Structure 1
Amino acid sequence: MARVSQEHLDARRRQILDGAALCFARNGFHATSMQDVLKEVGLSAGAVYRYFSGKDELIGAIVGEVLGSVRAAFEEALRQSPPPPPDELVATVLGTVLASRESLRIDGRPAFPSLVIQVWPETLRNEELAAVLREGYGSVRAAWAKIVEDYQRAGMMRPDIEPDHVARTMIAAVLGFIAQQSLFGPAPVEVLRDGLRALTSMRDDRAPADGPPLG
């Protein structure tokens, strides 16, 4: 019997993950059965279960893969000294993640934002998925904090703000932007880039108020 190449195995695994992601984004995790996944990918149960034991393992693999790609993008940014400014960095990282899943579409619309929205409530009942998300979130947060420290050392960012506070805020901005895409339709990452650019360029030139306090 001929040996199956690693390239074939990887392609089959990719096929299963992409098909499952479409099912989950379209109908949610609870409404999607393994039969739905089998139908989507056009494979037998034996072929799919060779790679994944069930829905929970599929979900964990999809989430872990996305978070891994985000972490890798930030680690690449850390190799630059100093890293690109926050608006450019966010647009580059998010744009890379979205582009890598551009082919996954539901009725012509990108499926990835809807998939992200589906993940959040699922973590409330799936402790293994919650653990995957916590680990991934923690690594992305740590990478962002290191980038902020580089900004501060380079004089690009005020030094009196805790790096982790900036990291949490930037992650919140990205997640909020993805949620908007799921709820209100696609928008280019340049929208987020330009908004961050405007916010980070603000100066507070207000003079302190004179006179006695009111009251």
Structure 2
Amino acid sequence: MARVSQAHLDARRRQILDGAAVCFARNGFHATSMQDVLKEVDLSAGAVYRYFSGKEELIGAIVGEVLGEVHAGFEEAVRSSPPPPPDVLVASVLSRVLGTKESLTVDGRPAFPRLVIQVWTETLRNDELAAVLFEGYGAVRETWARIVGAYQEAGTMRSDVSPEHVARTMMAAAMGFIAQQALFGPTPTEVLGDGLRALMSVREEADTR
């Protein structure tokens, strides 16, 4: 029997993950069965179960992959000295992540933002998925705290605010932007960058007392 190449195995795994992501984004985790996934990817049960034991493992793999991409984008920024400003950094990382998923659609609209909302909802009842999400976001938050530290060392950000607080705020901006994409439709990431840039331009009024 001919040996299957790693490239073929990787492509098949990608096919399954992408098909499952579309199914979950369309109908949610609970209303989606493995039969739905099999139909979406047009593969036999044996072909799919070779890679994933079931729906829960598929969900965990999708979540871990997305968080890994976000984390990698911010880690790349840490290696710059100083890192790009927040408006450029957040918009560019989101643009890259959304760009890798732009081929996945539900009713002509991007599937990824809808999938993210489904994931957040599922973590409220699924402890294992919540642990994956907690670990992933924890890594992103820690990276952002280091980025803020680099800003402060370079003198481009005030030093009297906790890096942890800034990290949580920037993550909230990114997560809120994704939520808006799911609720109101696609919006260019330049909108987020412009908004952050405008907020960053606000100056405290001098104390005239």
Fold in common (TM above 0.5):
yes
The answer for unaligned runs of 5 or more in structure 1 is 211-215
**Greater mean alpha carbon deviation, residues 104-113 or residues 25-34:** 104-113
Q: Which runs of 5+ in 2 are unaligned?
A: none
- In structure 2, the residue matched to 1:112 is 112
1:41-190 superposed matches below 5 A: 41-190=41-190
The whole-number CA distance in structure 2 between the counterparts of 1:76 and 1:207 is: 39
RMSD: 0.8
Aligned partners of 2:92 and 2:180: how far apart in 1?
18
Q: Distance in 1 between matches of 2:74 and 2:90?
A: 9
Q: Distance in 2 between matches of 1:165 and 1:119?
A: 24
Q: Distance in 1 between matches of 2:178 and 2:92?
A: 14
Alpha-carbon distance in structure 1 between the residues aligned to 2:55 and 2:163: 37
The 4+ residue runs of structure 1 with deviation greater than 2 A are none
Paired residue for 2:17?
17
**2:166 partner letter:** V
- SS class of match (2:139): helix
1:90-132: per-residue Cα shift (whole Å, max 9, x none)? Answer: 0110000000001001122111000000001101121111111
Letter in 2 for 1:104: L
Structure 2 CA distance for aligned equivalents of residues 79 and 137 of structure 1: 20
SS of 2:29 mapped into structure 1: coil
- Take 2:206 and 2:36, find their aligned partners in 1: how far apart are those partners? 59
Which structure shows the higher helix fraction? 2
Shift of 1:207: 3.8
**What is residue 34 of structure 2 aligned with on the other side?**
34
TM-score (structure 1 length as normaliser): 0.96
Q: Offset of 1:160 from its aligned partner?
A: 0.5
Identity of aligned pairs, percent? 77
Which position in structure 1 is the counterpart of 2:7? 7
The one-letter amino acid paired with 2:27 is N
Give, in whole Å, the separation in 2 of the partners of 1:113 and 1:206. Answer: 42
| Count of residue correspondences | 209
Q: Deviations over 1:49-75 (max 9, x none)?
A: 000011110000000000000111111
Distance 1:192 1:48 in 2: 38
**2:203 is the alignment partner of 1:200:** no
